[in-house]
Amino acid sequence: MMQPALVGSRDAALDLLKWLAMLSMFVDHLRFVWPELAWAFVPGRLAFPFFCLAVAANVRRGVLSWRYLAWLLMFALLSEWPYRLLVGNSTTLNILPTLALGLLIAQGVAHEQARVRGLALLALGVAWWGQQHLMFGFIGALLPTACLLALSRRGGWYLLAGMCAVLANYSPTLWAGARQFQAFAWVGVMVCGVAPLLGLSLLRGGLELRIWPLRRWGYLLYPGHLLIWALVREQVAR
């Protein structure tokens, strides 16, 4: 069983994973400011699997994360306007509703209480019914559970997480490029597939460094960076 690398009461590896997820997301969204930076899509494929691993790591601690869920839902609402400012007429919501549903589903797998499993089934149904409106779709809502299984059971479960990460990133453009053997598309697909393994290796490797903890104020980084990139794009366009 994995033992977290703690500095004081913090899991240093988990804090580093969260920072790496944030950084890859910041880089990914450069594409919306400067379209010529299309290469930012590739490192950006690390962000969602790393966020899902962070959700799974919190669920694996064994404590029902209702407060965690409340923060995700609150910032899902707060982030929608800056998300629309940056990405325009997206057909999906921002990333946080997907993570909130993923948290509920993962908690249903980790805990045996009837209420928790009932909420997990409800979340599963919502994710299926509304998958066209979820960033990373129905499979994306399952990725935290796949990451939880990989964290808890070792073996080849990381392959399931990698497969979910690839399928969650499906887009007609990406797969058309992969079928045409375009290097950019294949690198993007491969990064999606190995991202869970990279994150798992970090969480299991033991980290002795002191990492600046990403506490609840970190939620502000998501809507904050969306708003900043939208304002930067407006200035660049002038």
Q: Can you state the angle between helices 137-153 and 183-205, rounded to 10 degrees?
A: 40
pLDDT at position 63: 72
Strand-pair partners of 7: 10
Which value, in Å, is the radius of gyration of the alpha carbons in the chain? Answer: 17
pLDDT digits (tens, 9 = 90+) for 147-198: 999 999 877 889 999 999 999 999 888 888 888 988 999 999 999 999 999 9
- The residues near 111 (Cβ < 8 Å, ≥ 6 apart) are 64, 117
pLDDT at position 64: 76
pLDDT at position 9: 55
pLDDT band with cut points at 50, 70 and 90 for residue 3: very low
pLDDT band with cut points at 50, 70 and 90 for residue 7: very low
- The residues near 182 (Cβ < 8 Å, ≥ 6 apart) are none
Q: Is the pLDDT score of 16 beyond 90?
A: yes
* Phi, psi angle pair for 6, to nearest 5°: -105, 140
pLDDT at position 175: 84
Least Cα distance to 46 among 206, 173, 194 occurs for 194
Q: What ranges in the chain are assigned the alpha helix state H? A: 12-28, 41-44, 47-60, 66-87, 95-110, 114-129, 137-153, 157-168, 172-179, 183-205, 221-237
Pick 8 or 175 by higher pLDDT.
175
pLDDT digits (tens, 9 = 90+) for 61-113: 877 778 899 999 999 999 999 999 999 889 999 999 999 999 999 999 999 89
pTM of the model: 0.92
**Rounded distance, CA 125 to CA 203, Å?**
31
Q: Is the pLDDT score of 204 beyond 60?
A: yes
Q: Is the pLDDT score of 6 beyond 60?
A: no
